[in-house]
Amino acid sequence: MSEQVVGPDPTGGYRPGRGRRAEARRRRRQRRRRLGALALVLVLVAAGAVAYYLAQRAPEGEAAAELQGRTQRTLLFQVRGGDGAAAASALAAHDEPSSTGAVVLVPPQVIVDLPGAGSLPFGQALATGDPNGSRNALADLLGVTVDASWVLDAGAFVSLVDGLGGIPAEVDVPVVQDNSVVVPQGSQRLDGGRALALATYLAEGEPEQSRLARVQEVMEGLLTVLPDDPAAIADRLGALGEGSSTSEPVARVADFLAGLKVASAADSLQYDTLPVVPIDPGGGVTAFRLDAGPAQALVNRALAQSVPEGVRQSGNRVLVLNGVGTPGLGDAVRSRLVEADFVFVASRNAEQFGYETTQVLVPEATPEAQALGVRVAEALGVAPDVRQASLGTLADVVVIVGADFVP
């Protein structure tokens, strides 16, 4: 069976709007699609000019380094369903100097590798209980830095939307639950429960991109009704209690959301669907793999500032094997490797446990390969026990982590 690329729906998944607001939004989306490529080129040029200007005026010390470097920030936004998995996921990016942003809508069925858990659907990473799991898995999948995460339980999402007085939405199809229409088609204002129903709805026979288009609709509506003041946004988030969790201080997430709201209002927020290819894991389960070429083009266009140094270098892909059986070891090793500009490929258990010392396996007995193995050992803080072995094509280096590794 031939593979079919699943990317952005050329119609955006929407039907013609009803009413003034819907028509205005429809025209705005059409204009963005026609001029998207040109606008993005101009944005990148403008961002470069601003970055150069700020670099020339930057103060001394740490602040200067920050201004001269990366200005784009990224946030993984997820809504947790009743089963603990992510019912909706989107990676948002915002560049403050240029006041531009990007949102990548992520299918929950795309296969990722989670340190310590192996390969699994991205949505399930949230259900493993690892607070950094989803963020790290998506960062490894795309080869970008994901700075922070914001996870809302279904109840907290409903409370947030209700507290904001609902969100405007153009509903493309009637949303049906238990043979009843819970959200009619057309332009309307949705309360929290109906907004959640729309964001997670997929009718029988529809492609996953239809559901992602509805996630976009809900995100656009949410950004529309968020307060302009970051402090007011922070208050809203703080009032959600334990149902809302952020990996960074709430005030910092609120600043990010306020910037994203400004970009959205100025039509400077670009939405994309993560390019994926359907695969057949058996059992009638829907699953995707990343479509690497289009995905890299998307990253180059929307997330180029967030590509870490070293990610696209050759000869630095590392596969981690847990040789002691300690839970969570793969995540600790991943952090050390990423900090040293290596690319974390995956982690899994070694064929057996009981390794007293860490072994670094390289494919050739050459000085260059030996030096690479030593660099990996130094990144992990272990003695350089470098050995030559046949590694296949998955990685450039294989690490069997022993008891000498200290997380």
Nearest to 286 by CA among 171, 209, 174: 209
3-state secondary structure 3-14: CCCECCCCCCCC
Contacts of residue 259, defined as CB under 8 A and 6 or more positions apart, other chains included, come to 94, 96, 99, 101
pLDDT number for residue 25: 55
> Residues with Cβ < 8 Å from 57, sequence gap 6 or more?
67
| Residue pLDDT tens, the chain, 407 long | 434 444 444 333 333 333 444 455 555 554 444 434 334 333 343 444 334 333 333 333 333 334 348 999 999 999 999 999 999 999 999 999 999 999 999 999 999 988 777 789 999 999 998 888 999 999 999 999 999 999 999 999 999 999 999 999 999 999 999 999 999 999 999 999 999 999 999 999 999 999 999 999 999 999 999 999 999 999 999 999 999 999 999 999 999 999 999 999 999 999 999 999 999 877 777 899 999 999 999 999 999 999 988 777 778 889 999 999 888 788 889 999 989 989 888 888 888 999 999 999 999 999 999 999 999 999 999 999 999 998 876 789 999 999 999 98
By DSSP bridging, strand 287-290 and strand 276-279 are antiparallel
**CATH number for the segment(s) 317-401:** 3.30.70
Burial of 256 (0-12, 13-18, 19+ CB in 10 A): buried
Q: Which of 215, 276, 213 is nearest to 6 (CA)?
A: 276
Question: CA–CA distance from 232 to each of 53, 225, 265, 338 (Å)?
Answer: 31, 12, 18, 35
CATH topology of domain 19-306: Aminopeptidase (3.40.630)
SS3 label, residue 167 = strand
Using CA atoms of 390, 393, 394, 399 in order, give the dihedral in degrees to the nearest 10.
Answer: 30
CB burial readout 201-228, b (16+ within 10 A) else e: beeeeebbbbbbbbbbbbbbbbbbbbbe
Torsional class of 49: left (φ above 0), alpha (ψ -120 to 50), beta (otherwise): alpha
Q: What is the pTM of this model?
A: 0.75
Q: State how far the Cα of 289 lies from the Cα of 278, in Å rounded to an integer.
A: 6
Q: Rounded CA gap, 398 and 359, in Å?
A: 8
pLDDT given for residue 118 in this prediction: 79
What are the extents of the domains in the chain? Answer: 19-306, 317-401
> How many CB atoms are located within 10 Å of the residue 92 CB?
24
- Whole-number Å distance between alpha carbons of 251 and 233: 8
Using CA atoms, how far residue 406 sits from 93, 108, 358, 401, in Å, is 34, 33, 11, 10
Structure tokens that stand for 211 in this block: 């559901």
- If one counts every other C-beta atom within 10 angstroms of the C-beta of residue 235, the result is 13
Strand partners, 277: 289
**What is the distance between the alpha carbons of residues 4 and 277, in angstroms, rounded to a whole number?**
6
Q: What pLDDT is stored for residue 393 in this prediction?
A: 66
Q: Distance (Å, rounded) from C-alpha 336 to C-alpha 359?
A: 16
